[in-house]
Amino acid sequence: MRTGGRATLLLLWLLALAGLGWVVSQRLRVSTDLRSFMPAPTTPDQRLLMEQVGDGPGSRLLLLAIRGRPDTQLAALSQGLVAALKHDPRYSQVLNGSFDLGALDPQLLPYRYLLSPTLDTQPLDAAYLSAQLQQRLDDLSSPAASLLQGLLPRDPTLEVLKLAERWAPARAPELRDGVWFSPRHEALLLVQTVAAGFDPDAQQRAIDGIRQAFHALPGSAGATLELSGPGYFSVVVGAQTRHQAEWIGRISTVGFIALLLLAYRSVSSLLLGSLPIASAALAGIAALIVAFPAVHGITLAFGFTLLGVAQEYPIRVLSHRRAGEDAVQSVRALWPLLLTAIASACIAYLAFYASGVNGLQQLAVFTIVGLLVAGFSTRYLLPHLLPRRVRDVADMRWLQRTRDWVDQLPRPRWIPLLVALAIVAMLALAPGPFWQNNLAALTPLPQAMLLRDARLREALGAPDVRYLLVLQAATEQGVLALSEKLQPQVDALLARHAADALELPSRYLPSVAVQRARQQKLPDRATLQHALAQALQGLPFRPGLFQPFLDDVQAARTLPPLTPEHYAQTPLGQRLAAMLMQRDGHWFGLGTVSGVHDVAALQALGKGSGGKVRLLDLKAASESLVAAYRTRILQALGVASLLLVLTITFALRSLRRAWHVLAPMTLATFLVLAVERAMGIEISLFHLVALILAGGLGLHYALFFERDTGDPAEQRRTLHATLVCVLSALLVFGMLAWATIPVLRAIGLTVSLGVAFHFCLSILMAPHPHAAED
């Protein structure tokens, strides 16, 4: 192609990329909710689990500790923080232990007679009122007088205080200067975020808001604010992983560029060679934007990793060029093989699509579109741009020597058998369980952080993240009624110390039926007036003082019962909303449990309920979910492998040739698995993903080595291209293998081992050149 034509093509390509880049930057919405990488739940219980993993009351709780100043100043900071966060829409509840009459919205004050259980056992008659008023008189002469005096005319029986006590956390920490303190002189707070616990970005915003509010407080300069809780952990883990991945990425990018410059000694080749990859990435993202409402951050991170396979296409083209030959010609010669490689990789990634997991489906769309774009642009665009004159790598001295050495390597037929035996032996003798079912093990937290979380959780009596008591009924009111029915059994369990606390939804709102029953017991105005007059006899209260009380009781008699929707606007209503939810035509109530001592006793709560009441063990459930997830991926991989065999056999039109491609690839894949197991590594989903990537790379090596049977110069070019590919993959993934974050290490180690094994086995098991010449 003429120079002018090349310039035009380059310009058009760059313009297309810029346009695509602009669209992507305008339309891309990245989501960070880890749950889209979980399998789609199938049963209502699993759906509930998925909600709870990130969305449950326990997982949305942040535990705060302020320390480093004298107690009084810490208490002031604690109060200041509550005042600052209370009306922030990012938080549904902010607690620091301070006695808070505002817990009940002033407009809802008459509802106290429907919410408080006092009247269940005690009618509002003269005898009760008389006893209560006598107590209030004692209160008035005590130092507590100033607390009560304002409340007295409206609420002589102090129902508001009883409710405040009822709603305080079941096992509250010590109060000092009116706020919660740990034994270590830390002011403690509980903050419930509106955002889900496993949405690191939203959690980051919530945590930033807390920190900003804290630093804006006067006197916060010398004090330290510490956070804990699932949401905080997801932020820390995300930041750590990103940080390590970034610096490893920077180093390996520099190394990768240096390697390519060394291999091809041409800046223009390097720059042009990067165009297919850039097109692949942008096209992949564009496809995601079209196909999905939001693109997951992990899809992008993994997707770019998996696209590493596509870097092989331009490398193959660059290495296989002959001096003076048109690039278009050399590509044409390579194309059938490249097309086979592209098709096989796409089939492998289709397995992800079949897994049914949203995040993996995104990954499949991204990589398949990316691979196709990279492949076809390497075939139809790149060759027209490459400079005509190039060095033939086949003429390089060292390459000739290396190829000779490789050719002289013994290739005994028993090698596959030996490797297979070694694999079986290692798998059989490997220590520990085969599969890693605990996703958390891959993103571990520093021990100090876990200890602090346990300590704060203990001090605050905050609910466990692991257990939930699930109540199921046809209606919302049914759940509340079930919760009320269960309360006596729960109280008995707590008395026996089966758990430290168990909070049921009806603690915050009684069912409409109970509220109606309480309304029925409220006396009419005349009766109450009469009883009050009797009770007041001989007491020095000013006449007419209790008019607001009479009015409130009258109002309470005719109020429409409080429902969760009415209640939702208040802080407590939001607390309740987190404990009630509707799924698939059923209503679920969630009881939070703290300090579990006797799991069996809690499980026994559900006995005879016909599944209406059950203890959900989030850890066990998530582990079984991960196992189910893996089974689906493995099944999909099985189908993909079968398709792969058919594709390769069809492409090569020979079973024997297909064997030479597929046998080393299969053996190397299992060898990686066996070596990792022998090292005591438990295999996780990330290992599986990495194995597939390595398998894709190995397929290329095997395909190209297998093809090499005639021309020695072409054999050298193949070796050159494969060496560049192997070294660049080892560079990038070898670096990852040194990361301290297990997810990164899992991917890095698996791919590095895979690349090394695939390379060695595809050389050793390639058809012997001499044999082929026969």
Partner 1 sequence: MALAGTAPAASSSSATRLIAALGQPAPARTAFAEARFLHVLDRPLVVSGELAWLGGNRLQRQVEQPQPETATIADGEVTLQRAGKPARRFSLGHAPQLQVLLESFVALLSGDAGRLQQAFEIRHSGSAAAGWTLTLVPRDAKVARTVASIAIDGYGKQSRCMRMQDADGDLAVDLLGPLAAQMPAAPTREALQALCRSAP
Q: Which residues are near partner 1 by CB under 8 A?
A: 71-72, 75, 79, 98-99, 137-138, 140-147, 149, 152-153, 175-179, 540-543, 545
Q: In angstroms, what is the minimal distance from the CB of 616 to partner 1?
A: 36
Amino acid code (one letter) for 518: R
Cβ 322 vs Cβ 673: under 8 Å: no
Q: Report the residue number, 16 or 140, with the smaller CB distance to partner 1.
A: 140
Q: Report the residue number, 18 or 144, with the smaller CB distance to partner 1.
A: 144
Q: In angstroms, what is the minimal distance from the CB of 535 to partner 1?
A: 15
The tokens of 117 are what?
């259980």
Q: In angstroms, what is the minimal distance from the CB of 217 to partner 1?
A: 16
Q: In angstroms, what is the minimal distance from the CB of 140 to partner 1?
A: 6
Q: Report the residue number, 184 or 542, with the smaller CB distance to partner 1.
A: 542
Please give the Cα distance from 317 to 339 (Å, whole number).
13
Q: Report the residue number, 34 or 179, with the smaller CB distance to partner 1.
A: 179
Q: In angstroms, what is the minimal distance from the CB of 225 to partner 1?
A: 21
Q: In angstroms, what is the minimal distance from the CB of 126 to partner 1?
A: 20
Q: Which helix (H) or strand (E) holds 686?
A: helix 685-707
Q: Report the residue number, 154 or 322, with the smaller CB distance to partner 1.
A: 154
Q: Report the residue number, 181 or 233, with the smaller CB distance to partner 1.
A: 181
Q: Report the residue number, 137 or 290, with the smaller CB distance to partner 1.
A: 137
Total residue length of the chain: 774
Amino acid code (one letter) for 244: Q
Q: Report the residue number, 396 or 545, with the smaller CB distance to partner 1.
A: 545
Q: In angstroms, what is the minimal distance from the CB of 583 to partner 1?
A: 42
Do the bridges between strand 499-503 and strand 91-95 make them parallel or antiparallel, or are there none, so unpaired? Answer: unpaired
The tokens of 51 are what?
């909600």
Q: Report the residue number, 508 or 549, with the smaller CB distance to partner 1.
A: 549
Task: Look at residue 589 and give its three-state secondary structure.
Answer: strand
Cβ 259 vs Cβ 727: under 8 Å: yes
3-state DSSP of 588-638: EEEEEEEEECCHHHHHHCCCCCCCCEEEEEHHHHHHHHHHHHHHHHHHHHH
Q: In angstroms, what is the minimal distance from the CB of 141 to partner 1?
A: 5
Q: 500 Cβ partners below 8 Å, 6+ apart?
A: 170, 171, 461, 494, 594, 595, 596, 597
Q: Report the residue number, 101 or 259, with the smaller CB distance to partner 1.
A: 101
Q: In angstroms, what is the minimal distance from the CB of 146 to partner 1?
A: 5
Do the bridges between strand 586-596 and strand 580-583 make them parallel or antiparallel, or are there none, so unpaired? Answer: antiparallel
The tokens of 601 are what?
């006793």
Residue 221 buriedness (CB in 10 A; 0-12 / 13-18 / 19+): exposed
Please give the Cα distance from 306 to 696 (Å, whole number).
9
Amino acid code (one letter) for 164: A
Cβ 234 vs Cβ 449: under 8 Å: no
Cβ 313 vs Cβ 274: under 8 Å: no
Residue 607 buriedness (CB in 10 A; 0-12 / 13-18 / 19+): exposed
Please give the Cα distance from 202 to 235 (Å, whole number).
9
Q: Report the residue number, 121 or 146, with the smaller CB distance to partner 1.
A: 146
Q: What is the DSSP letter of 439?
A: G
Label residue 650 left, alpha or beta by phi (over 0 means left) and psi (-120 to 50 means alpha).
Answer: alpha
Q: In angstroms, what is the minimal distance from the CB of 602 to partner 1?
A: 29
Do the bridges between strand 586-596 and strand 467-473 make them parallel or antiparallel, or are there none, so unpaired? Answer: antiparallel
Do the bridges between strand 187-193 and strand 467-473 make them parallel or antiparallel, or are there none, so unpaired? Answer: unpaired
Amino acid code (one letter) for 676: E
The tokens of 686 are what?
């990330």
Q: In angstroms, what is the minimal distance from the CB of 224 to partner 1?
A: 21
Q: Report the residue number, 153 or 712, with the smaller CB distance to partner 1.
A: 153
Q: Report the residue number, 71 or 201, with the smaller CB distance to partner 1.
A: 71
Q: Report the residue number, 80 or 383, with the smaller CB distance to partner 1.
A: 80
Q: In angstroms, what is the minimal distance from the CB of 547 to partner 1?
A: 12
The tokens of 511 are what?
């069912």
Amino acid code (one letter) for 732: V
Please give the Cα distance from 157 to 154 (Å, whole number).
9
Q: Report the residue number, 142 or 224, with the smaller CB distance to partner 1.
A: 142
Q: In angstroms, what is the minimal distance from the CB of 206 to partner 1?
A: 28
The tokens of 182 are what?
């740990």
Angle subtended by helix axes 655-678 and 415-429, to nearest 10: 30
Q: Which helix (H) or strand (E) holds 263?
A: helix 230-264
Amino acid code (one letter) for 238: G
Q: Please report how many Cα atoms fall inside a 13 Å half-sphere around the Cα of residue 187, on the Cβ side.
A: 30
Q: In angstroms, what is the minimal distance from the CB of 152 to partner 1?
A: 6
Q: Report the residue number, 179 or 693, with the smaller CB distance to partner 1.
A: 179
Task: Look at residue 362 and give its three-state secondary structure.
Answer: helix
Q: Which helix (H) or strand (E) holds 176?
A: strand 174-176
Q: In angstroms, what is the minimal distance from the CB of 536 to partner 1?
A: 11
Q: In angstroms, what is the minimal distance from the CB of 179 to partner 1?
A: 8
Amino acid code (one letter) for 463: P
Q: DSSP readout, 235-262?
A: HHHHHHHHHHHHHHHHHHHHHHHHHHHH
Q: In angstroms, what is the minimal distance from the CB of 542 to partner 1?
A: 5
Q: Report the residue number, 154 or 321, with the smaller CB distance to partner 1.
A: 154
Q: Which of 206, 212, 208 is nearest to 192 (CA)?
A: 206
